[in-house]
A and B are shown apart, each in its own frame.
Chain A
Amino acid sequence: MVAFFLIILPLLTGLIAFSLKEEKVVKSFAFLSSLATLAVSVLGLTLMNAEENLQFTAQWMQPIGSSFSLKLDGMGQLLCLLTAISYPLVFLGSWNASYKKPNNFFALMLLAQAGLMGVFLATDALVFYFFWELALIPMYFLSSQWGGEKRIPVTFKFFIYTFVGSVLMLIGILYIQSKTVSHSFSLNAFYVVELSSKAQSWLFWLFFLAFAIKMPVFPFHTWQPDTYEQSPTPTTMILSGVMVKMGLLGLLRWLLPVFPIASYVWGDVVMSLAIAGIIYASLIAIRQDDIKRLVAYSSIAHIGLMCAAIFAENKSGMQGVMLQMFNHGINIIGLWIIVEIIERRFGTRKMSELGGLAQKAPVMAIFFVIIALANIALPLTNAFAGEFLMFNGLMNAKSNYYLWFTVLAGLGIILAAVYTLNMIRRIFYGEVNELTAVATDLKLNEKLALGIIVGLIFWMGVYPQVLLDVTDNFSQELVNKIDISHLFRKQ
């Protein structure tokens, strides 16, 4: 039932929110709804984590082999928790912003949450596909309606990109379904289906393309910086903090275990792409003047590392990815909240027009520096644990080129330090100019949101075991499923 409530709660409240007119009312309503979802999600982790509570199955489209089945496994728990935490933070952090037609804005945000939850929970390929697309529609409307100047073509490009990826995945899903013994769309049937290595190869690419566009992995990333830049910042927070995890989850739940042979065969290619993406995105990030674009490129670099670690195919890598999926979401939302505050106060996102903010807004500077340091994975911050495990995973990867991959990916950390520290310097230090001379410090709600984020950063930096325990079983099972060493022994 927990799984069901996680979807139905944002869905229903989202639909109700359309009918609310007053901005204050709809804001508080959306905030309360997101808190309720968070409460349910925490319940699913703690008090009600018995097996039967976490599963939900209902009859649906029986004749074509699909049923509405949801399950909250380790990864699902983690990502649902991330989604559930993100929403209150996003609402709280951007409380002072105001929108035209606020009821539609908040309603679509909540509907997007329902879609995201569905993607993270679905254990039926058709249901997964349904939610995969449904999460996209509200995002499209949010970005196109409330975004920046070039919003219409930019978000349309984003939509077409992801749509192409997902329809190709649909073909893959249909093909596998026709090969399963029971002609079923259920995840378990997919896990045991017999596919020749040739079929696995092309199916692998059909699925991978969909996930690679969503994450995004180089060279499918071209929609991402523009979309992040043009979207209204609360939408960008959800896009970059939560939505990119859809692609990673796709890899972990739907790609690797279903095509273990192809994943092994093509692992080097994917890792090369991912690592090329890290270097490429980091180099571009260094040259950016627009804060939003800088954070967008830094996000590509981080996702690239996670993607590479997934294809290392060992437990350390997997656990690192799990941890980092959560932490990356928290960190990047923190960065966006401050970016949004800066943009709203000064009407610009250009670093060249800012400077000296630390004198005028010391609290903001402290928060920003902590979050930025977490972004470059300094020890004691949350990202360190995750990245450490991922590098450990890469170092132990089965690939012949593991050393190269690790070294080049490690270069990403150095580059991350370059652009992040440079960003801090240009925004918060240096001369105060006429724009920043009138700056004021954070408001209470902003302090609260950022305070929670910084708290989480330290908690997960010092004691990440809480999260690692949640996903431990899942990672172990996953590694067992994708282990194909028995195939080698036979020959």
Chain B
Amino acid sequence: MNALIISAILGVVMMFSGILLKQKTAVRNVAIGGIIILLLANILEMGGTVFFTIDSRGMIAFDQFALLFNTIVFVSTLLYLLLSAKEIEKVGVNYADYFALIFFILCGITLVSSFKSLLILFLGIEIISIPLYILTGSDKRNLKSNEASLKYFLLGVFSTGLMLMGIALVYGARGTFITVPDPLVTAAPNTLLITGMSLLLFSMAFKVSAAPFHFWTPDVYDGAPTVFTSFMATIVKAAVFIAFIRLFDDAFEGLQPQWRLWIAVITAITLFVGNITAVFQQSVKRMLAYSSIAQAGFMLLSLYAMNTEAKEGLLIYAAAYCLATIGIFAVLAKMNDYTFDGFNGLARREPLIAATLTILLLSLAGIPLTAGFLAKFYMLKATIATPNSLWLVIFAVLMAAVSVYYYFRVIQAMYFKEGNDATTGFSPFFKWTMVLMASLVILLGLFPDLLLNWLYF
């Protein structure tokens, strides 16, 4: 509850900070201070200190799982702001508004990570989506940004419509919005419920950009300003995944035979489309867009398996994926050339940046010693424990091997090719934040318990 209320307040504060504070640095510092407060308040709540007690009538439940996920989100956002706050200011004149929108998105994330009612889910998804439409189109003079925003908006509201329809049908079948209904009054699976569930499944698949609902992703990610692509592709995506797994764990657990095959097929298609298409990209930004689809495919495995390990694994996956992708995007935002060739010879000019970037890329590829390996490891372990899923596991690891191809292209460009100066320069602070991220990735890859122990406080 702490994070929910404080993030909403901070959003308002940030809106006015643009008027009250004249200096860019001041606004940035307020934002960074705000996220630190948010993080601390959330950690306090994990320890049992709750500032606000509001009776939500069972519609929201801040359990350890939700709180731990919020912590991951806030830490990632903090690192994101530390690395990219300056880039946000460069996007447009209303820079304070962008910070405000980010805090509103965080507010939505705290809702979707803890909902117990379909209404709250809808509310949370909308609070996340609407600021994102704005952020996507924030580069007003750029035609691509405008196009991306419109595309995102149209498809987004369409899927929101599907979601509302699904919620309505589920309500019709169950007579309640609460996701964990009383088993006594729960109706047997009927057409109404299954249809509602399918609609919810499709709309959520759209939000996490799972194939075949992914067509918006590359264009939107490519068109949006790179700083906001970074936020969208990492923190927001992970949050929607948490909502996805909570929804299907709570509300539709009994219907597992009905949806498991759907999820398996969607997973396989997502892995295939994401990885194979990423191979052919020439722009690193677009490659990362497809890579985010591919990584979503791996995260979907947790939904498919839906056991304890899958849920723990999703948290590790969220952390690993967010850390690595935020770092890569932060460096990308500073490059003048977004193609693979733009990275040529980076290791010679910026050895520290190249080394940290390599660790992050290895993590995305799932090489041991990094958090990314452990994340994939948990997913595979969870999936292999479910019967008749060997084909999916083998397919997933083969696709992971494909992903090595495009991640390593960046490493090859940095280390083994010669190139000209194409960066705007990195400040020492930026470099050390990157080192911090890389060490977090390795630390998490060696000792996942550092994170997971928080679940069992």
- With A137-B362, A145-B415, A175-B384 already in contact, the answer to whether A167 and B368 are too (CB < 8 A) is no
| A130 beta carbon closer than 8 Å to chain B | yes
- Give chain B nearest CB distance to A101 CB in angstroms: 9
A452 neighbours in B (Cβ, 8 Å): none
- With A168-B394, A171-B394 already in contact, the answer to whether A133 and B401 are too (CB < 8 A) is no
| Chain A proximity mask over B383-426: 1 for CB below 8 Å, otherwise 0 | 01100001001100110110011001000100111000000000
Name which residue of chain A comes closest to B309, CB basis: A64
A156 neighbours in B (Cβ, 8 Å): 405, 408, 412
- Within 155-190 of B, Cβ neighbours of A (below 8 Å) are at none
A167: contacting residue among B385, B390, B400, CB under 8 A: B400
Report whether A130 and B369 are in contact in the complex, using a CB–CB cutoff of 8 Å. yes
A160: contacting residue among B367, B381, B401, CB under 8 A: B401
| Chain B proximity mask over A59-100: 1 for CB below 8 Å, otherwise 0 | 001111000000000000000000000000000000000000
| Chain B proximity mask over A132-147: 1 for CB below 8 Å, otherwise 0 | 0110010001001100
Report whether B412 and A133 are in contact in the complex, using a CB–CB cutoff of 8 Å. no
| B131 beta carbon closer than 8 Å to chain A | no
- Within 94-133 of A, Cβ neighbours of B (below 8 Å) are at 129-130, 133
- With A133-B367, A156-B408, A171-B394 already in contact, the answer to whether A61 and B449 are too (CB < 8 A) is yes
B150 neighbours in A (Cβ, 8 Å): none
Name which residue of chain A comes closest to B413, CB basis: A152
What is the bound-complex CA distance between A137 and B401, given in angstroms?
A: 15
Interface residues on B, range: 20 to 34
A159: contacting residue among B400, B404, B417, CB under 8 A: B404
Majority secondary structure of chain B interface residues (helix, strand, loop or mixed): helix
B381 neighbours in A (Cβ, 8 Å): 64, 174, 177-178
A133: contacting residue among B368, B394, B447, CB under 8 A: B368
What is the bound-complex CA distance between A63 and B448, given in angstroms?
A: 10
| A151 beta carbon closer than 8 Å to chain B | yes
A178 neighbours in B (Cβ, 8 Å): 381, 384-385
- Give chain B nearest CB distance to A136 CB in angstroms: 9
What is the bound-complex CA distance between A174 and B313, given in angstroms?
A: 15
What is the bound-complex CA distance between A163 and B362, given in angstroms?
A: 12
| A20 beta carbon closer than 8 Å to chain B | no
Name which residue of chain B comes closest to A147, CB basis: B416
| B130 beta carbon closer than 8 Å to chain A | no
A134 neighbours in B (Cβ, 8 Å): 368-369
What is the bound-complex CA distance between A177 and B394, given in angstroms?
A: 16
| A164 beta carbon closer than 8 Å to chain B | yes
What is the bound-complex CA distance between A152 and B367, given in angstroms?
A: 19
What is the bound-complex CA distance between A484 and B369, given in angstroms?
A: 38
Name which residue of chain A comes closest to B374, CB basis: A61
A175 neighbours in B (Cβ, 8 Å): 384, 390
Name which residue of chain A comes closest to B378, CB basis: A64
Q: Which residue among A145, A167, A174, A177 has the maximum number of chain B CB atoms within 10 Å of its CB?
A: A167
Name which residue of chain B comes closest to A136, CB basis: B367
B400 neighbours in A (Cβ, 8 Å): 167
A164 neighbours in B (Cβ, 8 Å): 398, 401
| B452 beta carbon closer than 8 Å to chain A | yes
| A170 beta carbon closer than 8 Å to chain B | yes
A137 neighbours in B (Cβ, 8 Å): 362, 367
- Give chain B nearest CB distance to A139 CB in angstroms: 13
Interface residues on A, range: 20 to 34
B390 neighbours in A (Cβ, 8 Å): 171, 175
Number of A-B contacts (CB under 8 A): 65
B405 neighbours in A (Cβ, 8 Å): 156, 160
What is the bound-complex CA distance between A167 and B381, given in angstroms?
A: 13
What is the bound-complex CA distance between A62 and B362, given in angstroms?
A: 25
What is the bound-complex CA distance between A167 and B376, given in angstroms?
A: 11
A145 neighbours in B (Cβ, 8 Å): 415-416
What is the bound-complex CA distance between A167 and B362, given in angstroms?
A: 14
What is the bound-complex CA distance between A133 and B448, given in angstroms?
A: 19
What is the bound-complex CA distance between A168 and B405, given in angstroms?
A: 17
A170 neighbours in B (Cβ, 8 Å): 377, 380, 397
What is the bound-complex CA distance between A168 and B399, given in angstroms?
A: 11
Report whether A144 and B416 are in contact in the complex, using a CB–CB cutoff of 8 Å. yes
- Give chain B nearest CB distance to A180 CB in angstroms: 13
Report whether A163 and B401 are in contact in the complex, using a CB–CB cutoff of 8 Å. yes
A171 neighbours in B (Cβ, 8 Å): 380, 384, 390, 393-394, 397
What is the bound-complex CA distance between A61 and B417, given in angstroms?
A: 39
What is the bound-complex CA distance between A134 and B368, given in angstroms?
A: 7
A133 neighbours in B (Cβ, 8 Å): 367-368, 373
A62 neighbours in B (Cβ, 8 Å): 449
What is the bound-complex CA distance between A177 and B381, given in angstroms?
A: 9
What is the bound-complex CA distance between A144 and B413, given in angstroms?
A: 11
What is the bound-complex CA distance between A130 and B416, given in angstroms?
A: 25
Report whether A167 and B367 are in contact in the complex, using a CB–CB cutoff of 8 Å. no
- Give chain B nearest CB distance to A357 CB in angstroms: 34
- With A159-B408, A163-B401 already in contact, the answer to whether A152 and B368 are too (CB < 8 A) is no
- Give chain B nearest CB distance to A54 CB in angstroms: 24
- Within 414-457 of B, Cβ neighbours of A (below 8 Å) are at 415-417, 447-449, 452
What is the bound-complex CA distance between A32 and B393, given in angstroms?
A: 45
- Give chain A nearest CB distance to B317 CB in angstroms: 15
| Chain B proximity mask over A329-345: 1 for CB below 8 Å, otherwise 0 | 00000000000000000
What is the bound-complex CA distance between A144 and B358, given in angstroms?
A: 14
- Within 260-281 of A, Cβ neighbours of B (below 8 Å) are at none
Name which residue of chain A comes closest to B366, CB basis: A167
- Give chain B nearest CB distance to A265 CB in angstroms: 20
A144 neighbours in B (Cβ, 8 Å): 412, 415-416
What is the bound-complex CA distance between A130 and B373, given in angstroms?
A: 10
What is the bound-complex CA distance between A141 and B411, given in angstroms?
A: 10
Name which residue of chain B comes closest to A164, CB basis: B401
- With A174-B380, A178-B385 already in contact, the answer to whether A152 and B394 are too (CB < 8 A) is no
What is the bound-complex CA distance between A156 and B373, given in angstroms?
A: 20
What is the bound-complex CA distance between A141 and B380, given in angstroms?
A: 28
Name which residue of chain B comes closest to A153, CB basis: B412
| Chain B proximity mask over A171-201: 1 for CB below 8 Å, otherwise 0 | 1001101100000000000000000000000
- Give chain B nearest CB distance to A241 CB in angstroms: 24
Name which residue of chain A comes closest to B453, CB basis: A63
Report whether A167 and B416 are in contact in the complex, using a CB–CB cutoff of 8 Å. no
- Give chain A nearest CB distance to B18 CB in angstroms: 45
Report whether B384 and A174 are in contact in the complex, using a CB–CB cutoff of 8 Å. yes
Q: Which residue among A64, A133, A137, A145 has the maximum number of chain B CB atoms within 10 Å of its CB?
A: A64
Report whether B397 and A63 are in contact in the complex, using a CB–CB cutoff of 8 Å. no
B397 neighbours in A (Cβ, 8 Å): 167-168, 170-171
| Chain A proximity mask over B216-244: 1 for CB below 8 Å, otherwise 0 | 00000000000000000000000000000
- Within 382-396 of A, Cβ neighbours of B (below 8 Å) are at none
Name which residue of chain A comes closest to B417, CB basis: A152
A174 neighbours in B (Cβ, 8 Å): 377, 380-381, 384, 393
What is the bound-complex CA distance between A133 and B397, given in angstroms?
A: 15
Report whether A63 and B449 are in contact in the complex, using a CB–CB cutoff of 8 Å. yes
- With A61-B449, A168-B397, A170-B397 already in contact, the answer to whether A141 and B415 are too (CB < 8 A) is yes
- Give chain B nearest CB distance to A263 CB in angstroms: 21
What is the bound-complex CA distance between A159 and B411, given in angstroms?
A: 13
What is the bound-complex CA distance between A347 and B268, given in angstroms?
A: 51
A163 neighbours in B (Cβ, 8 Å): 401, 404
Name which residue of chain A comes closest to B398, CB basis: A164
Q: Could you list which residues of chain B lie within 8 angstroms of chain A, going by C-beta atoms?
A: 362, 367-369, 373, 377, 380-381, 384-385, 390, 393-394, 397-398, 400-401, 404-405, 408, 412, 415-417, 447-449, 452
Question: 19 A-B pairs, CB-CB below 8 angstroms?
Answer: A61-B447, A61-B449, A63-B449, A63-B452, A130-B369, A144-B416, A152-B412, A152-B416, A152-B417, A156-B405, A159-B404, A160-B401, A160-B404, A170-B397, A171-B384, A171-B397, A174-B377, A175-B390, A178-B384
Q: With contacts A62-B449, A134-B368, A144-B415 known, what are 7 further pairs, Cβ within 8 A?
A: A144-B412, A151-B416, A156-B412, A163-B404, A171-B394, A171-B397, A177-B381
The 9 closest A-B pairs by CB, nearest first: A167-B397, A130-B368, A164-B401, A133-B368, A174-B384, A144-B416, A174-B381, A152-B416, A163-B401
